[in-house]
A = this chain, B = another copy of it.
Amino acid sequence: MPTNPRTHIVTSYGDELRRLRDMIARMGGLAERQVADSVDALMRRDSVLAAEVVARDAALDGMEREVEQYCVRLLALRQPMAADLRLIIACMKISQDLERIGDYARNGAKRAIVVSQQPRMGSLNGFGRMAELVQENLKSAIDALVENDAAKADAVWANDEPIDGIYNGIFREMLTFMMEDARNITAATHLLFIAKNLERIGDHATNIAERVHFAVLGEALTDERPKADISSSAVVNPPG
């Protein structure tokens, strides 16, 4: 342990915790951009942008490793207690959520390339709307961490339901497209997975919000989260 006067340790430790929050904020910003660009690439049939999203994912993987190393260093050198310990553990977990969000965006971008080469099918507006809501939640969850604001985190947590609602609509719509014309099946299948990816990204945003709530207040959100994804029980029948 360093033998510096207490005030010096405190200042520098405070700087380290601020730096940790900044690392997460930067990582969150990149994850948001990856989600936005992967859905833009889908809607504009832009394979070049989709390829950029795929290439950019390695940066998120690197940032996750950096956050983990930084947290391990803080745990070993600073032996944090209470709120600081909770913050460091939350940041490690949040970086894992953000890395997974990046994986979903990359997977969506790969599928967007295939979809752009298939026949057009209806409007993809539902995807745009889903992406917007997911990004808003992700941004608010990260802001809640940076501002140490449990109420802001709780608002995200309650805000996942509309995303599930759009997802259920897309699920039924895609099955209907498939039934109308077998030539839609490849594109509709990839679109189903893209919608599922967005729904999972939304779940990770609420996970982040839960972790922020716990880090700030030291107690878990105990209520069962409002959850409206009923697609795993959906049945759609062919016309006629």
A107 interface neighbour in B79, B81, B189, B232, Cβ under 8 Å? B232
A75 proximal to B (CB < 8 A): yes
A234 interface neighbour in B85, B114, B175, B236, Cβ under 8 Å? B114
Q: In the complex, are the beta carbons of B65 and A75 less than 8 A apart?
A: no
16 additional contacts, CB 8 Å, given A178-B189, A186-B236, A190-B232? A75-B85, A76-B81, A79-B79, A96-B96, A107-B232, A110-B233, A113-B233, A114-B232, A114-B234, A117-B235, A118-B235, A175-B186, A183-B238, A185-B238, A186-B234, A189-B189
10 closest Cβ contacts across the A-B interface? Answer: A182-B238, A110-B232, A179-B182, A79-B79, A178-B185, A186-B235, A111-B232, A107-B232, A186-B236, A179-B185
A-B contact pairs, 22 of them (CB 8 A): A68-B89, A72-B85, A72-B86, A75-B89, A76-B82, A76-B85, A89-B92, A92-B92, A92-B93, A110-B233, A113-B233, A114-B233, A114-B235, A117-B235, A118-B235, A178-B178, A186-B234, A186-B235, A186-B236, A189-B192, A190-B232, A192-B192
